[in-house]
């Protein structure tokens, strides 16, 4: 599975900006230290000179060995002197070196694996995923809902007949759970299925979770089931398999996938199998998914298969939303 050229290029650009910013920072730091301690600059110049002389000596052959040995001695004396200047003035011994965001690849995005083959560094893979998520989220109302704007005062405090809790109690617990979930989120957190009638805050709370964990740098995608499936289907039936694969990859690999309005999509073989695929791949990778639906358990089993639904129910935290439709005028 892979992302397309467009996303890969954007990722390279973003990483190279990070690298350049880090190199620029190092230059500024170097300039500052050289003007504070001019001897450091002299040392640097002499070290460069030694490097050039050593190369020359090797090329000249003959008594190269004694010359290079002497140069090596001088070089290590200079490096030592530099270290002493830095440390005795309260700087770290590597204060003149560049500091990269990813020290593993020095912000190049490439490392050598144990077989000596150049491979992508995890940092570049992460940037690709972030960008793929941003692309898919471009059309979603992500920033509109927060935990702070989720009100509890509108839920009924009376115990619901036949149960031992009120809507207020239940929704307080759900809100608390969602806040904790966002606070402790990891790419292997549990999935959640939010069920309930329309206008009860399912989308609101799932977006609130998304907002919190995006701030922590996780790759989150929020999609509505009918929208994303229509998009995939369009690419598929136009033979645009690269685009289709890129979206499926992003949906599968992101840290958190939120699928809103499951069950309102057009029912077709393509859509059902696309949903199965995405869920199965995510379950295998232990990546969490949040599903929102108006469907009851029975209806879910009718739309999808019993096996599929029991897999979801076995692996997801279930939340039954209660209350009355927030969109109704007398509610606010």
Ligand X SMILES: Nc1ncnc2c1ncn2[C@@H]1O[C@H](COP(=O)(O)OP(=O)(O)OP(=O)(O)O)[C@@H](O)[C@H]1O
Q: Which is nearer to ligand X, 205 or 248 (CB)?
A: 205
Q: Which does 104 bind (CB under 5 to 8 A by kind): ligand X, Mg ion, Zn ion, none?
A: Zn ion
Q: How far apart are CA 218 and CA 7, in angstroms?
A: 17
Check residue 123 for interaction with Zn ion (CB under 5 A).
Answer: yes
Check residue 326 for interaction with ligand X (CB under 6 A).
Answer: yes
DSSP assignment of 141-160: -GGG--STT--STTS--SBP
Strand partners of residue 292: 194
Q: Which does 204 bind (CB under 5 to 8 A by kind): ligand X, Mg ion, Zn ion, none?
A: ligand X
Check residue 203 for interaction with ligand X (CB under 6 A).
Answer: yes
Q: Which does 105 bind (CB under 5 to 8 A by kind): Zn ion, Mg ion, ligand X, none?
A: Zn ion
Q: Which is nearer to ligand X, 170 or 287 (CB)?
A: 170
Burial class (CB in 10 A: 0-12, 13-18, 19+), 46: middle
Check residue 121 for interaction with Zn ion (CB under 5 A).
Answer: yes
Q: Which is nearer to Mg ion, 185 or 222 (CB)?
A: 222
Q: Which of 15, 136, 200, 209 binds ligand X (CB under 6 A)?
A: 200
Check residue 15 for interaction with Zn ion (CB under 5 A).
Answer: no
CB of 106 to ligand X, least distance (A): 45
Query: Which long-range contacts (C-beta less than 8 Å, at least 24 apart) are formed by 316-320?
Result: 316/190, 316/191, 316/192, 316/193, 316/289, 316/291, 317/177, 317/190, 317/191, 317/192, 317/193, 318/192, 318/193, 318/195, 319/174, 319/177, 319/192, 319/193, 319/194, 319/195, 319/196, 320/170, 320/195, 320/196
Check residue 177 for interaction with ligand X (CB under 6 A).
Answer: no
Q: Say how many C-beta atoms besides its own lie within 10 A of residue 142's C-beta.
A: 16
Q: How far apart are CA 206 and CA 178, in angstroms?
A: 8
Check residue 170 for interaction with ligand X (CB under 6 A).
Answer: no
The footprint of Mg ion on this chain (CB under 5 A) covers a number of residues equal to 2
Q: Across 152-268, where does the E strand assignment appear? A: 191-195, 220-224, 256-262
Q: Which tokens sit at 77? A: 């004396």
Q: How far apart are CA 151 and CA 167, in angstroms?
A: 13
CA-to-CA dists, residue 66 to 54, 70, 72, 112, angstroms: 11, 6, 10, 34
SS3 316: strand
**How many CA atoms, within 13 angstroms, populate the side-chain half-sphere of residue 38?**
0
**Taking CB under 5 A as the rule, which mask of x and - marks residues 175-214 in contact with Mg ion?**
---------------------------xx-----------
Check residue 145 for interaction with ligand X (CB under 6 A).
Answer: yes
CB of 173 to ligand X, least distance (A): 13
Q: Which is nearer to ligand X, 68 or 172 (CB)?
A: 172
Q: Which does 123 bind (CB under 5 to 8 A by kind): Zn ion, ligand X, Mg ion, none?
A: Zn ion
CB of 92 to ligand X, least distance (A): 49
CB of 151 to ligand X, least distance (A): 4
Return all residues near 305 (Cβ < 8 A) that are at least 6 apart. Answer: none
Q: Which is nearer to ligand X, 50 or 154 (CB)?
A: 154
Check residue 98 for interaction with ligand X (CB under 6 A).
Answer: no
**Taking CB under 5 A as the rule, which mask of x and - marks residues 90-109 in contact with Zn ion?**
------------x-xx----
The contact set with Zn ion (CB under 5 A) reads 102, 104-105, 121, 123
The contact set with ligand X (CB under 6 A) reads 145, 149-151, 198-204, 261, 292, 294, 326-327
The contact set with Mg ion (CB under 5 A) reads 202-203
């Amino acid at each position: 599975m892979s992302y397309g050229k467009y996303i890969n290029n954007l990722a390279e650009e973003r990483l190279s900006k990070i690298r350049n910013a880090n190199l620029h920072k190092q230059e500024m730091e170097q300039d500052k230290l050289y003007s504070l301690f001019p001897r450091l600059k002299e040392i640097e110049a002499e070290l460069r000179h030694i490097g050039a002389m050593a190369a020359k000596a090797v090329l000249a052959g003959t008594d190269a060995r004694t010359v290079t040995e002497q140069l090596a001695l001088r070089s290590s004396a200079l490096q030592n002197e530099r270290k002493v200047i830095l440390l005795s003035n309260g700087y770290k011994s590597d204060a003149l070196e560049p500091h990269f965001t990813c020290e593993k690849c020095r912000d190049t995005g490439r490392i050598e694996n144990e077989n000596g083959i150049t491979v992508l560094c995890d940092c570049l893979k992460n940037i690709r995923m972030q960008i793929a998520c941003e692309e898919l989220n471009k059309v979603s109302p992500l920033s509109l809902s927060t935990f702070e704007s989720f009100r509890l005062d509108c839920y009924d405090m009376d115990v619901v007949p036949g149960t031992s809790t009120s809507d207020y109690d239940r929704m307080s617990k759900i809100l608390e759970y969602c806040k904790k979930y966002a606070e402790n989120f990891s790419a292997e957190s549990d999935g959640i299925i939010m069920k309930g009638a329309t206008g009860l805050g399912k989308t609101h709370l799932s977006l609130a979770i998304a907002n919190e964990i995006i701030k922590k740098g996780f790759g989150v995608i929020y999609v509505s089931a009918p929208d994303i499936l229509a998009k995939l289907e369009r690419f598929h039936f136009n033979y645009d398999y690269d685009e289709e694969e890129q979206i499926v990859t992003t949906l599968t690999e992101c840290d958190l996938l939120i699928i809103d309005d499951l069950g309102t999509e057009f029912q077709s073989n393509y859509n059902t199998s696309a949903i199965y695929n995405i869920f199965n791949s995510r379950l295998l990778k232990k990546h969490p998914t949040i599903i929102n639906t108006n469907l009851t358990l029975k209806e879910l089993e009718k739309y999808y298969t019993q096996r599929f639904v029991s897999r979801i129910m076995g692996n997801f935290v279930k939340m039954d939303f209660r209350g009355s439709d927030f969109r109704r005028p007398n509610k606010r």
